[in-house]
Amino acid sequence: MPEMKPFKGWRYNPAKIKDLSAVFAPPYDVISKKEREAFHRKDPRNVIRLILGNEKKGDSARDNRYTRARRFLREWTASGVLVEEEKPSIYVYLQDYLENGRRQSRLGFIAAMKIDEKAVLKHENTLAAPKKDRMALLKEVKTNLSPIFGLFEDKKGEVRKILKGALRRPVIDVTLDGVRHRVFVENRTGPLQILAGRMRGKPLFIADGHHRFEVACQFKNWMRSQFPAARNAGWEYVMTYFADCVHNPFKIFPTHRLLALPKEVKNPLEILRRRGAFHPASSLSAVLQKLSKNRRESADKNYSFGIYTQKDGFFIFTLNREFTARVGKSPVEQLDVAVLHNVIIGPCFKIKAIEKSTSIDFTRDPQEACRKVKSGEFNMAVFLRPTSLEEMLLVSKRGLKMPQKSTYFYPKLLSGLVFHKLDE
């Protein structure tokens, strides 16, 4: 585990904002265009103006969504919309939600983590465009606006006991989209020292925020080049949420694929039939029910995927033994998402360079996938089983990388709960 420490965070001032739920938002990369506009209308001080500002006609190098984010942040700081914590603190974060009708609670904390690329285990490849976007923003605001989502293993549950001792009076208590978010400030020296000792030596796995972590590394190097004499500066750290994956529930959703097929592909199902069998499904819900468990949990160990086209409807497609036998032995190659790309999408439809391709898109929302096929924007939707937490941890420990968009952790962490300024 890299060094972690409390910090004097900046938070929305409840004396200035009557309804705190109106100023928070999910992470920038899960916000749709429709949701983006809704958050912009919700409150003029919503964090969306920092993490995902609107582009305007006439934007220039001096006036654009990144420079506007910097101005908003400065204005809110100067006017008292944002206030700084009096003491270095950690922010204990409790999320309550329902999963299949069962009440679940996830307990973790937010602190500043020393940036150490070798000590942080990653499981997913990243894309150049999102990193370029986040770097442009970070250079302007010089502030972590959302935390990296990190996991650690604490078999004895000692960290959880310390965090429970901080659950006194929340400074934030909001409910958004069925998830209750509570934040508690812990600045007592004793618990903080004990926590640091318990965390020492534990590997950290990134669950969410791979792009932001890599950008934090780039930003650190850029700032070092600007200020070579600085030591232990704010930009040497990145705001991180830490959660014990042994004693907390972790729901991972799949990210489904949308395909725009080449014009010469007249009958995509016929191409797929050469590699497996189709079983008609009555509806989208029937497909999702069939794929609700990952292969580790399911009695069905076959590689199966949901397929939807406007012409043919819904199917379960199961890869036959000939092609299953070609699947590699590494933990990454055996993932459903890797088999989908390596054995089906790439060879059948010649879609390989997904970072640059306009022939593929991603969504966690299966209803959205169907709408985009019905509208003609895409020809086919492919639905996947979820990746298991065990698969993710194994890939990370082996130093391997999953394909992009392999995991979607739920519930997401809210942006705007606390800000970590890097130039202080």
- What one-character-per-residue DSSP string does 340-356 give? IIIIIIHHHH----TTT
User: For the chain, which ranges sit under pLDDT 70?
Assistant: 1, 353-356, 424
**H or E element in which residue 162 lies:** helix 158-164
Residue 340 near residue 317 (C-beta atoms within 8 A): no
d(CA 292, CA 274): 26
pLDDT at 54: 93
pLDDT at 424: 57
What are residue 111's DSSP bridge partners? 240
Sequence-distant (6+) residues with CB within 8 A of 246 are 153, 154, 155, 157
Three-class DSSP labels, 276-344: EEEEEECCHHHHHHHCCCCCCCCCCCCCEEEEEECCCEEEEEEECHHHHCCCCCCCCCCCHHHHHHHHH
d(CA 220, CA 117): 11
d(CA 70, CA 105): 35
Does the CA dihedral 108-110-113-117 come out positive or negative? positive
pLDDT at 355: 63
- Residue-wise pLDDT for 365-384, tens only, equals 999 999 999 999 999 999 99
Q: At what angle do helices 210-226 and 128-141 cross, to 10 degrees?
A: 50
pLDDT at 29: 87
pLDDT at 76: 98
pLDDT at 354: 65
pLDDT at 353: 63
Residue among 356, 364, 370, 407 at smallest CA distance from 35: 364
- Residue-wise pLDDT for 67-109, tens only, equals 999 999 999 999 999 999 999 999 999 999 998 788 999 999 9
Tokens for 16, please give them: 């200035």
Q: At what angle do helices 65-79 and 128-141 cross, to 10 degrees?
A: 40
pLDDT at 403: 80
